[in-house]
Amino acid sequence: MDVKWVVLSVFIFLFAVVTVLGFVASRWRRAESLDHLDEWGLGGRNFGPWVSWFLIGGDLYTAYTFVAVPGLLFGVGALGFFAVPYTILIFPMAFIVAPRLWSVAHRHGYVTPADFVRGRHGSATLALAIAITGIAATMPYIALQLVGIGAVLKTMGIEGEWPLVIAFVILAAYTYQSGLRAPALIAFVKDALIYIVVLVAVIYIPIKLGGFDDIFAAADKKFSGSEQPTDGLVLADAQILGYSSLAFGSALALFLYPHAITGLLATRSRDTIRRNMAALPAYSFLLGLLALLGLMAIAAGVEPLTSASGTPDTNTVVPLLFDQMFPDWFTGVAFAAIGIGALVPAAIMSIAAANLWTRNIYKEYLRPNATDAEEARMSRLVSLIVKGGAVAVILVLDPQFSIDLQLIGGVIIVQTLPAIVIGLYSRAAHAWGLLAGWAVGLAGGLYMLYDTPNPVTGKEHFGGAQYALSNFGIDTKVTLYTGLIAIVLNLIVTVLVTAVVRMTRGAEFPDQTSPEDYGVEAGDPGVEPLSIEGEHAPAPTGRG
């Protein structure tokens, strides 16, 4: 494929603008020093409603939104819409739960979800498990962002992996310098571009294709001739339970990701979080429009490019649609929106993973007396390593449906739900029970993922996050979201082990928090802005 120079030029120009903003961000809302995790990793914990709305929206609505969801809809039909209801479900949940996490984290200076688990349940081992889980779940999610950039570059005629390496180096450089302020500032540009591109696309493309009646008719014709009986514009009966469980399970997982919690903790108040949870469903409307691009690509006769393994690469469907429908200059703008839409969440994810390593592994086990400045330097360094690991994942894997990367991460991260969410309300679950439940849920989830083939892509293992109930000896074609099955196992084991520990009068671990910590607001005693030399609650000692 020849290089599309006009498209590439517009893409490079907007990419350069964002890069400049990334470096300038270190002077935006400038602190005396970024040598502190509160400043480098949480932006000073002082983002207001507008900044945090763009930041959290840019964090949660990623290249996965632009590439994977329409690609799945293009490939299998109605099942691809699962992302729309799950993003609607999560915001009422977060409206209730997230302010409690904000309060206790600001009262005690917690930077990561594992910090909270350490303080609440008194177990360093449980906190270590939560930290490792968060890092492991984040890696495929970062890799997914690079899949989005790669799909755009491939459509522009840029072959090879070197452009991804260049994008990684640029992203790593300004994240290293500016911390969370970089993606927060870039998110304004990213979201503006995405809204412009999507609104133009959902008006202009249907007009060119003869209207939505013709679009849905073309999609229905394709799926009617599919060899897969589950493909179609309407869910098959056997898919309904799997679809609903996938939406519900994904909703449970979304705000457990370290990068989502990082966005929440960077806000200035509980009220800011509540306002954001009320306003963020606007992005769900955008997501529904984006999903329709997959059906438009069918009507437009888009043929996906071939992946390295010789199979159709559905990640290229939306870039090819834009390239076919729009003049080159606007296609360049659309491609830049996808590329920048990958950079913002990738930066936040790498920061969140680095903070987990620094606070809950490095400081807890390797350097208990590390200074604030040393913590910040370590997080900066590890954020580079995390991005490098994500690039390595992409170089090794060849996912046809890149959405698999996100769904696998969801199965992993949802195993942290009992320790975090239940912990925000009660200590009824013992740390040993939570740890045992986590281990069983994670092992079971990973086994089911391994045991799941994908007949469309030809994968024998890790072919999706829907587990066939027939594997349990049930005569049915019904599937369930793997993460939901795994979290049920997790909860059962948690309850059983907790009961045994209580009956045998096992060790009780200290709780750093108190009931009033979960309801404090900005300005209350102990929730004043934390200075860079400020005193955080000292890390508890001992091992659980």
H-only helix segments in 397-473: 403-413, 417-420, 431-450
Q: Which residues lie closer than 8 Å to 254 by C-beta, 6 or more apart?
A: 60, 86, 87, 90, 260, 410
DSSP state for residue 227 in the 8-state scheme: S
| Six-digit token string for 1 | 């494929």
**Is residue 16 a contact partner of residue 353, using CB atoms and an 8 Å limit?**
no
Amino acid (1-letter code) at residue 161: E
**Position 374 in a domain:** yes
Helix, strand, coil: what percent of the chain each, to 5?
70, 5, 25
**CA angle, residues 413, 414, 420, in degrees to nearest 5:** 95
**Position 436 in a domain:** no
**CA angle, residues 449, 142, 325, in degrees to nearest 5:** 100
Q: Which domain holds residue 255?
A: 5-29+45-404
- The count of domains in the chain is 1
Cα–Cα distance measured from residue 102 to residue 50, given in angstroms and rounded to the nearest whole number: 18
Question: What are the backbone dihedrals phi and psi of residue 252, each rounded to the nearest 5 degrees, phi first?
Answer: -60, -35
* Rg (the chain; Cα; Å): 23
Question: What are the backbone dihedrals phi and psi of residue 171, each rounded to the nearest 5 degrees, phi first?
Answer: -60, -45
**Position 268 in a domain:** yes
- For residue 48, the SS3 value is coil
**Position 241 in a domain:** yes
The number of angstroms, rounded, from the C-alpha of 364 to the middle of its chain's C-alpha atoms is 26
The number of angstroms, rounded, from the C-alpha of 11 to the middle of its chain's C-alpha atoms is 24
Cα–Cα distance measured from residue 540 to residue 494, given in angstroms and rounded to the nearest whole number: 24
**Position 443 in a domain:** no
**Position 425 in a domain:** no
User: Would you tell me how many other CB atoms lie within 10 Å of the CB of residue 195?
Assistant: 15
**CA angle, residues 348, 40, 253, in degrees to nearest 5:** 30
**Position 475 in a domain:** no
- CA distances (Å), 195 to each of 106, 214, 289, in order? 33, 25, 10
The number of angstroms, rounded, from the C-alpha of 228 to the middle of its chain's C-alpha atoms is 29
pTM, to two decimals = 0.89
Indicate the angle between helix axes 328-357 and 124-155, nearest 10 degrees: 160
Domain CATH for 355: 1.20.1730.10
**Position 463 in a domain:** no
| Six-digit token string for 376 | 């910040």
For the chain, 544 residues long, give each residue's pLDDT as a single digit of tens.
Answer: 678 899 999 999 998 998 898 888 877 776 667 788 899 999 889 899 999 998 888 777 777 677 888 988 998 888 888 888 888 899 999 999 999 999 999 999 999 999 999 999 999 999 999 999 999 888 878 877 877 888 888 888 887 677 777 877 888 888 888 899 999 999 888 888 988 999 999 999 999 999 999 999 999 999 888 777 778 889 888 889 999 999 999 999 999 999 999 999 999 999 999 999 999 888 888 888 888 999 999 999 999 887 766 677 788 899 999 999 999 999 999 999 988 888 888 889 999 999 999 999 999 999 999 999 999 999 999 998 888 777 776 666 555 545 566 777 889 999 999 999 999 999 999 999 999 999 999 999 999 998 988 766 667 778 778 899 999 999 888 999 999 999 999 999 999 999 999 999 878 899 999 999 999 998 887 776 544 333 344 444 334 4
Amino acid (1-letter code) at residue 348: I
